């Protein structure tokens, strides 16, 4: 069971390819306004793997690859006429 902030997006699924029960690693942050502390994902994943003995064993990290370079040499929308949502970008003359 995961307890997290209602506005957060959290993953908790069985991944058949990895054969793991994968879920977001949650960290505590100060919520908006008077919400107090809330739990949100930090972008990393934890998991449980079922062993042949039937028990589920905890894995503190699922993906631990670190890239030396950004996956793209330049921003995707840098020279586009439309923004991410398909609207025409505003120019200095608009």
Q: Domain range spanning residue 53?
A: 12-59
pTM, to two decimals:
0.60
**Residue 77 included in any domain:** no
Residue range 53-79: mean pLDDT, rounded: 76
Chain segment 27-51, per-residue pLDDT in tens: 888 888 887 888 888 888 999 999 9
Q: Starting at the earlier edge strand, list the strands of the sheet with 20-30.
A: 12-15, 20-30, 37-50, 56-59
Count: domains in the chain: 1
Q: Give, in order, the Cα–Cα distances in Å from 82 to each of 32, 47, 63, 71, 93.
A: 32, 39, 33, 22, 16
**Residue 73 included in any domain:** no
**Residue 64 included in any domain:** no
Q: Which long-range contacts (CB under 8 A, 24 or more apart) does 24-27 make?
A: 26/2
**Residue 40 included in any domain:** yes
């Amino acid at each position: 069971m995961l307890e997290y902030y209602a506005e957060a997006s959290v993953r908790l699924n069985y991944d058949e390819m990895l054969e793991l029960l994968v879920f977001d690693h949650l960290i505590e942050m100060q919520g908006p306004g008077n919400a107090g502390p809330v739990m949100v994902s930090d972008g990393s994943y934890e998991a449980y793997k079922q062993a042949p003995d039937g028990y589920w064993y905890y894995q503190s990290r699922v993906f631990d690859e670190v890239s030396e370079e950004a996956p793209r040499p330049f921003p995707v929308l840098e020279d586009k006429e439309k923004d991410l949502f398909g609207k025409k970008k505003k120019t200095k003359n608009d």
